Amino acid sequence: MVNELWYKDGLQFECLRCGNCCSGFSGTVRVSDEEIAALARRLALSEAEFRKDYTRTIGGGAISLIEKPNNDCIFFDQEQGCTVYADRPRQCRTWPFWRSNVYSPDSWKRGAKRCPGIGRGRLYTAELIKETSESDGSSGSIA
């Protein structure tokens, strides 16, 4: 029940466009078959070409975008930010309301160390956060 959630009064978040969530570390950005199809179309590639050049297989057979040698997401540009913004994967769209972040006040605080937009700006309702976190597109692991 939403009323029992620790964030029942909602949580604040405002993206400051710092790029921290897209750059500087090797993580996983999961992409579904539908998202791969959309990104391949965007780049005028076949899905097979896109999978070969822009993705890697991770645990459980899931697919992730790859990173540049400096560990930035393959689609992150220091000047432009995300270069595939309209077709970015759901995992990117749902940050920071991932299950692993909203699991507890401590996990939310840990997320804020990486994302300076956590805890400021727009207040999101508990209902929206819960709905988003339940299909966040990430691994679903609870930190």
Binding site for ligand SF4 (CB under 6 A): 15-22, 29, 73, 75-76, 82, 84, 88, 92, 95, 115-117
| DSSP codes, 74-142 | TTEETTTEETTGGG--HHHHHTT--HHHHTSHHHHHHHHHH-TTBTSSEEEPHHHHHHHHTT-SS----
Q: Write down the least CB distance from residue 8 to ligand SF4, Å.
A: 23
Q: What is the largest CA-CA distance in the chain?
A: 47
Which one, 117 or 133, has the nearer CB to ligand SF4?
117
Taking the complex as a whole, the smallest distance from the CB of residue 24 to ligand SF4 amounts, in Å, to 10
Between 2 and 18, whose beta carbon lies closer to ligand SF4? 18
Of 2 and 122, nearer to ligand SF4 (C-beta) is 122
